[in-house]
Structure formats: C-alpha cells, structure tokens
Amino acid sequence: MNRTISGSNGLRGTIIVPGDKSVSHRAVMIGALGEGVSEVRKFLTAADPKSTLECLSALGIEYDVRDDVVRVHGRGLHGLRRTDRALDAGNSGTTMRLMTGILAGQTFPSILTGDESLSRRPMRRVIEPLSRMGAVIESSERFTAPLRIMGHFPLKAIEYEMPLPSAQVKSALLFAGLYAEGTTRIIEHVATRDHTERMLGLKTSDAPVGHVVEVEGGMKIEPRQLVVPGDISSAAFLLAAGLIVPNSEITLTNIGLNPTRSKILDVLRSIGGRIEILDQRTVAGEPLGDLRVRSSDLEGSIDLSGAKVAESIDEIPVLAIVGAFTKGTFTLRDAADLRHKESDRIRAMVDNLRKIGIDVEEREDGFAFEGKKDLLAAEIDSFLDHRIAMSFGVAGLALKGEMVIRNAECVDISYPGFWEGLEQLQHS
C-alpha cells in the first residue's frame, strides 16, 4: 500500500501515542516467567509484540487480551513447555534475541525463526556470550536464523563486558542469568535502556569499569501489574512533525521519559526545539509525562557519534529528517549497526534524502549533510522499514507537493494508526 502525504499548514491537537514496544515485549516475557497472573496495561498491540505473545503461547503460556490489557498466566522459571514447531519471531529482533536468552536455559530444544528480513540480521553478538554460559546454539554460517537452541540447565554464571552497546543483548543475558548457577554480571561502557533491570528489580551500580547489572540465578519472579508508558521512539516522529511544520502545537500524553531513552529531547532542544514536559510522574517504576511541542526555528548542528548513537539508535532516521530542515549540519558516525536493522537504514536514509534534494555523503558507519531550505516532495521507498516510512511521512508534511511513501503499511510493526494520527492532527 502506498501513502500520499501532502504539505500541511499546521498540526494541532492532543494525541495518545501507542505503548512502548521495548517495555511491552519485556513485560509479557517477565509475566510468563512469574509465578501467577500478571496484568500488563496499555500493551502495544502491534505486530512485533504480538510475535512475542505467539512465541510464549506456543511454549504453553496462556494469556488473554482485552483492548490494550494483557493478562499473562505465568508458570514460573521452569514452566515453559517444549513445542515441536518452530517459534516464529516475525520481523522482531527483540523477540528473537530475548527469547534466545530464555530458551538457552530450558531443559528442551527449540527452534527460533523469523521472516525474510529478520533472517538476514546477525545474531552473533547474542550467540557468543550465551555460549560462554554453556548454551548450545546452532545458526547459519553467517550467525543468522533459524536458531537451533539445544537448551541447557543450569547455565554457568559469567561476568561479561559488553563489546558494543545493545539493550537486546544485555536483556538476553539477564534472562539467561535467571537459569544460571550464581550471579551473572553485565558490564556496559555505555548504559543502554534499562527496562529489564527495572522490571526484575535487579541490582545496578556504577564502577570504574562501567555500568554494572547483576542477576542472581533462580530468583523468584512475583506476578505484577504493569502500565506500559507511551513509546518515546514513536513519539519522536510527532515531535519532529510539530517542530518542522509551521503553525503547529501538539500535546503527546503519557510518554515514557526513562533517562536511557529520552536523549532525543536533549538533541532537539539543543537546536532550538520548543518542547515542554508537563505533569512528570512515575508509574510502575517508569518515569513519564506529557510533552508539548511547538513549531520552531531550528538552527545548529546535530552530531551523533559514540554514546550518543547508542542513546538514540531508534530515533536516528527521524533526527536526520529534522536535520534536513535545520540551519546547520547533520553528522552520524559509529552507527554501522544501522545497516543490520529492519533495513540497511544508512543506505535507506541516504537514498531517500537524495530524492528530496539533500546532498548526502555516505560512509560505512553513517552519513553527513547540510540542511537545506528548498526540499522536494518525491516518491520514497520505505524498504519495508517502519521507521523509514514514518520519518519521510513526517517530512512530507513540511514540503510543498505530494510525498508518496511506498509500502507504507509497514508502520504497523510498531505504530498501528500512525497515518490516521497524522490526519487527525491536520484537521484538529
């Protein structure tokens, strides 16, 4: 399905952003390993979290869904059941990596597979440390799915220093640590999103070696009630739209403001973005608040490298769009991992930015360009990547003419109703 976006005279209104995808995945996994019924409110009913639910169901976990509330009937750490069919993670890298950590410590074998896109994404970074814990995992020669996980209990507790920042790899190791003898210690030089640690109530500390997270093997997980905050990675697209479309004022409600996720606010404010945080509070251990964004005269440079890349990895495509409308430069370095997301996001952004009139220098680990006033609406290839589609949908609102987004339905991976939300803000 193609989507045509026309330039807007202004965006106004209040909008509810879907629940956080990262939190939704982890909440139902932890609920499944808990001993009793857990309730997850404002669960993101998008394709990726549904893949996690379907994998858990195939492993014997019962759940029921009513609107955006999921009740998970946990069976404890050792309550998962063997299935003879492959577990399908769909397009979800989070599902595949985190479930690998859980399945590594079972007493039965499992197979994890995914769609064509996910089956091209490398899993070596999670396979190698899990193997050090005693897991036996077979993959393709390129360390891609399908993954054949033999299951080994108990695993061996390790101290693991993360060579590259990755919340998915860290969470997979923390889940595997639940099935290990002793205490597993994960050391991060760049702190990544910490939802898993918060939900499990794990011990964390800062040391000269870096940020340390510890998990004790065999810890009992109590059932719980969780409220999923609005996804700041999804809110980022609307924040960008509010900034670059003239005569705009948008309020986004109940947005997660976890400090490991909210660096995008600092980046946008640093170039003059007018963003206010209203009614800041803490719900179920996660900070959240309402965000009010107004159209702004953006000026200055966006320079993302090192830790800044890890802190804003999902928001980089839309930050590049903001950079295109800014009086300044955009520079991305140290982001080679973007070539292994739902698409090669570096190539996807470079190709599409050039189509709208930006002179982009592509590098192996990023790209760079100068913002420009006279940009052009064009026909854009989403590369079946939800973040590419939404980023250029936002750009289309700030351009004259019509922007066509090919295969625009891919946004359902993380933000069902995104296009309808944009229409709502244009007609408020």
- pLDDT one-digit tens code per residue, 151-161: 999 999 999 99
In a domain, 221, yes or no: no
- Structural domain range at position 120: 21-216
In a domain, 223, yes or no: no
Q: Which H, E and C letters describe the chain, residue by residue?
A: CCEEEECCCCCEEEEECCECHHHHHHHHHHHHHCCCEEEEECCCCCHHHHHHHHHHHHCCCEEEEECCEEEEECCCCCCCCCCCCCEECCCCHHHHHHHHHHHHCCCCCEEEECCCCHHHCCCHHHHHHHHHCCCCEECCCCCCCCEEECCCCCEECCEEECCCCCHHHHHHHHHHHCCEECEEEEEECCCCCCHHHHHHCCEEEEECCEEEEEEECCCCCCCCEEECCECHHHHHHHHHHHHHCCCCEEEEEEEECCCCCCHHHHHHHHCCCEEEEEEEEEECCEEEEEEEEECCCCECCEEECCHHHHHCHHHHHHHHHHHHCCECEEEECCCHHHHHCCCCHHHHHHHHHHHCCCCCEEECCEEEEECCCCCCCCEEECCCCHHHHHHHHHHHHCCCCEEEEECHHHHHHCCCCHHHHHHHHHHC
Per the structure, the count of domains in the chain is 2
Please give the share of the chain, as a percent, with pLDDT higher than 70: 100
In a domain, 224, yes or no: no
Does one domain contain both 270 and 378? yes
Does one domain contain both 240 and 164? no
Does one domain contain both 32 and 120? yes
Average pLDDT value for residue range 127-145: 97
Active-site residue, 314 included: yes
Q: Is the pLDDT of residue 68 over 90?
A: no
Which pLDDT band holds residue 77 (cuts at 50, 70, 90)? very high
Q: Is the pLDDT of residue 389 over 90?
A: yes
Does one domain contain both 9 and 28? no
The residue annotated as part of the active site, out of 20, 194, 314, 381, is 314
- pLDDT of res. 428: 62
In a domain, 382, yes or no: yes
Does one domain contain both 73 and 148? yes
Residue located via tokens 């193609």: 2
Average pLDDT value for residue range 219-229: 95
- pLDDT of res. 183: 98
Does one domain contain both 13 and 27? no
Average pLDDT value for residue range 328-351: 96
Q: Which residues of 102-138 are buried (b: 16+ CB within 10 A; e: fewer)?
A: bbbbbeeebbbbbbebbbbbbbebbbebbeebbbebe
Does one domain contain both 235 and 197? no
Give the residue with greater pLDDT, 249 vs 374.
249
Q: Of the residues 193, 216, 239, which one is the last residue of a structural domain?
A: 216
Does one domain contain both 129 and 240? no
Q: Of the residues 174, 193, 216, which one is the last residue of a structural domain?
A: 216
- pLDDT of res. 427: 76
Which pLDDT band holds residue 333 (cuts at 50, 70, 90)? very high
Does one domain contain both 149 and 78? yes
CATH of the domain at 115: 3.65.10.10
Does one domain contain both 204 and 287? no
Q: What is the pLDDT of residues 347-386, one digit of tens each?
A: 999 999 999 999 999 999 999 999 998 999 999 999 999 9
Average pLDDT value for residue range 72-96: 97
